């Protein structure tokens, strides 16, 4: 008999991410009522906001009807509308919890959240039992499933009614034993813009991870109208947008302005739509150029944006679009150094060629190496940090471009006095082409991301190794 008057309570299980909920059921002589899924109350208890899109009902005539063990590539919210069942779940996901078993009886006053990849099965204990479940993907024959035999000796489920005495479909009887099960891999991560500096660093960071895919612009153009159908997006857990238009000076030209807005805003909006509609996490890389650099302290994630030029405006607009995605990380960085042409390589080359450059000395910030950005992105995705903006640069004392140039000269065995410091206005004073305004202060406060457990590398300490790798 259904128990009335329970308090809404969440109970953890041995299977990671799977949670049992005791549900309040209100009844009298006329019958009963319950809130089968109440998003606000249940997410407050720690359940994921899993975004159900389909509601299914399985009706069972006879006591002993047994179904499963099926692991689908979506999350489930499982409850009983009428009757009573013995439920058994087996973790069929890749990882250390593979093969973990949990069993419990469900009636209308008890429900369970079953994560993607956990095998689901049940046996009816009363006639005319209706078993309901919400899922966060539409059923598809193209989805990747995994199955386990109900009688598997390894997991040894203690069925209340012997399997020899119950109704089981021939298909369920033919499922493999645990040793032959194909584990469900984690949801895939797609890195867009995988041919650029950050994309190359992400390739290195996720090397050997089969669930991470990489796509260059030639392979996946975010401006393509067919993007929404380019993948079965529900198979993905996250999109990392490593693509961006970064030619800050060219962005001040008519053609550059169009290209910057197309890449940094229109393309980002397409990714944001896909992420929002499919429950994905969108990781987007932002810039110190969204600020005007007028503060006399490091910028926090909460400071008001005030971009000076077209590039900064497009990055600010892209940030606003991404912030509307329920699951997102905006990684704000500055002074990025990666593979290919960069400031460190240029200074090392000038030193070697005997050229004594003039370098700007009134802009302050910290170098950020693409490998550290990639490591930070991985940390955010795997740590489950709260959605939002996170500043991520190299650590240590802020410095100027001229000071960094002097350090590069020293590390390559050249005289740092060959560097002449000049103001930004003096440096660009004779330029014939458009020049984007630069923020004078690009120092970003790192306390928010370090509070998530990320150890930020000291930029000055990292420079020698980066320089050696570049030569």
Task: Mark whether 127 and 163 lie in a shared domain.
Answer: yes
Domain boundary among 133, 156, 180: 180
Q: Which residues pair with 203 in a beta bridge?
A: none
Q: Are residues 306 and 449 in the same domain?
A: yes
2 is a domain residue: no
Question: Do 254 and 395 reside in the same domain of the chain?
Answer: yes
Q: Are residues 167 and 271 in the same domain?
A: no
Indicate the length of the chain as a whole number: 471
Kindly state whether residue 457 falls inside one of the protein's structural domains: yes
443 and 361 share one domain: yes
Distance (Å, rounded) from C-alpha 276 to C-alpha 263? 19
Q: What is the pLDDT of residue 22?
A: 95
Question: Do 193 and 161 have their domain in common?
Answer: no
Q: What is the mean pLDDT of residues 196-209?
A: 95
Per residue, the 3-state secondary structure of 346-365, as one string, reads: HHHHHHHCCCCCEEECCCEE
**Angle at CA 68, nearest 5°, toward 63 and 74?**
130
Catalytic residue among 133, 289, 329, 427: 133
The whole-chain average pLDDT of the chain stands at 93
Q: In this structure, are 48 and 154 located in the same domain? A: yes
Cα distance between residue 140 and residue 358, in whole Å? 62
- Is the pLDDT score of 6 beyond 90? no
Quickly state the pLDDT bin for 471 (edges 50, 70, 90): low
Residue 431 has pLDDT above 80, yes or no: no
Residue 1 domain-assigned? no
Per-residue pLDDT of 324-333, as tens digits, reads 999 999 999 9
Query: Looking at residue 305, what is its pLDDT?
Result: 96
Q: Mean pLDDT, to the nearest integer, of 263-273?
A: 94
Total of domains in the chain:
2
DSSP sequence for 139-199? --TTS--EE--TT-TTT----SS-GGGS---HHHHTPPPGGG--PBPPPEEEEESTTSHHH
Q: What is the CATH number of the domain that holds 36?
A: 2.60.120.10
Q: Are residues 147 and 216 in the same domain?
A: no
Q: Do 216 and 173 reside in the same domain of the chain?
A: no
Tell me, what DSSP letter sits at residue 3?
P
In a domain, 260, yes or no: yes
Q: Does 3 reside within a domain?
A: no
Same domain, 240 and 166: no
pLDDT, one tens digit per residue, over 104-132 is: 999 999 999 999 999 999 999 999 999 89
More confident residue, 401 or 32: 401
Domain boundary (118, 151, 180) is at: 180
**In whole angstroms, what separates CA 375 from the centre of its chain?**
13
Set 70, 145, 211, 379: catalytic member? 70
Strand intervals (E) in 193-293: 212-215, 236-241, 281-287
Global pTM value: 0.88
Active site residue 284: no
- Final residue in a domain of this structure, among 151, 180, 209: 180
Same domain, residue pair 199 and 173: no
* CATH number of the CATH domain containing 464: 3.40.50.720
Q: Is the dihedral of CA 197, 198, 203, 205 positive or negative?
A: positive
pLDDT at 269: 96
List pLDDT tens digits, range 49-86.
Answer: 888 999 999 999 899 999 989 998 899 999 999 999 99
Cβ–Cβ contacts within 10 Å for residue 290, how many?
A: 27
State the pLDDT at residue 339: 87
Sign of CA dihedral 138, 140, 146, 150: positive
Residues 195, 171 share a domain: no
Q: Within a domain: residue 338?
A: yes
**Per-residue pLDDT, 470:** 62
The pLDDT value recorded for residue 1 is 60
> Active-site residue 414, yes or no?
no
Residue 432 pLDDT greater than 80, yes or no: no
SS3 341: coil
Which pLDDT band, with edges at 50, 70 and 90, does 460 fall under? very high
Domain boundaries, position 77? 9-180
Residue 354: per-residue pLDDT? 94
- Model confidence at 367: pLDDT above 80: yes
């Amino acid at each position: 008999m259904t128990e009335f008057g329970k308090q809404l309570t969440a109970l953890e299980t041995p299977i990671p991410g799977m949670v049992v909920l005791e549900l309040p059921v209100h009844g009298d002589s006329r019958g009963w009522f319950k809130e089968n899924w109440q998003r606000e109350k249940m997410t407050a208890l720690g359940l994921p906001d899993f975004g159900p899109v389909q509601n299914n009902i399985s009706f069972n005539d006879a006591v002993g009807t047994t179904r499963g063990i099926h692991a689908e590539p979506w999350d489930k919210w499982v409850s009983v509308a009428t009757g009573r069942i013995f439920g058994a779940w087996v973790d069929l996901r890749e990882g250390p919890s593979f093969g973990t078993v949990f069993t419990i009886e469900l009636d209308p006053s008890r429900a369970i959240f079953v994560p993607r990849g956990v095998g689901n099965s049940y046996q009816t204990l009363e006639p005319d039992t209706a078993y309901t479940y919400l899922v966060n993907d539409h059923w598809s024959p193209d989805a990747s499933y995994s199955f386990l035999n109900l009688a598997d000796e390894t997991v040894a489920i203690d069925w209340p009614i012997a399997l020899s005495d119950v109704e089981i479909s021939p298909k369920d009887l033919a499922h493999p034993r645990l040793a032959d099960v194909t584990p469900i891999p984690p949801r895939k991560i797609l890195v867009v813009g995988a041919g650029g500096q950050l994309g190359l660093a992400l390739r290195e960071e996720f090397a050997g991870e089969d669930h991470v895919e990489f796509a260059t612009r030639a392979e996946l153009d975010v401006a393509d109208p067919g993007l929404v159908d380019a993948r079965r997006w529900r198979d993905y857990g996250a999109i990392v947008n490593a693509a961006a238009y970064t030619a800050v000076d060219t962005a001040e030209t008519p053609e550059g302005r169009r290209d910057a807005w197309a890449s940094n805003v229109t393309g980002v909006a397409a990714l944001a739509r896909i992420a929002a509609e499919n429950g994905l996490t969108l990781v987007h890389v932002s810039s110190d150029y969204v600020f005007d650099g007028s503060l006399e302290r490091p910028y926090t994630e909460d400071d008001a944006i005030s971009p000076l030029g077209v590039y900064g405006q497009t990055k600010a607009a892209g940030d606003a679009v991404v912030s509307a995605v329920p699951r997102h990380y905006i990684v704000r960085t500055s002074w990025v150094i990666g593979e290919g042409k960069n400031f460190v390589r240029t200074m090392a080359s000038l030193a070697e060629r005997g050229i004594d450059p003039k370098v700007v000395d009134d802009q302050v910030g910290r170098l950020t190496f693409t490998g550290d950005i990639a490591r930070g992105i991985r940390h955010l995705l795997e740590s489950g940090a709260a959605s939002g903006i996170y500043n991520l640069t190299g650590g240590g004392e802020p410095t100027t471009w001229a000071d960094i140039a002097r350090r590069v000269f020293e590390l390559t065995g050249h005289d740092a006095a060959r560097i002449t410091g000049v103001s930004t206005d003096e440096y660009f004073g004779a330029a014939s082409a458009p020049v984007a305004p630069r923020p004078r202060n690009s120092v970003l406060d790192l306390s928010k991301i370090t509070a998530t457990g990320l150890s930020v590398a000291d930029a000055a300490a990292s420079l020698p190794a980066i320089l050696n790798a570049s030569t």
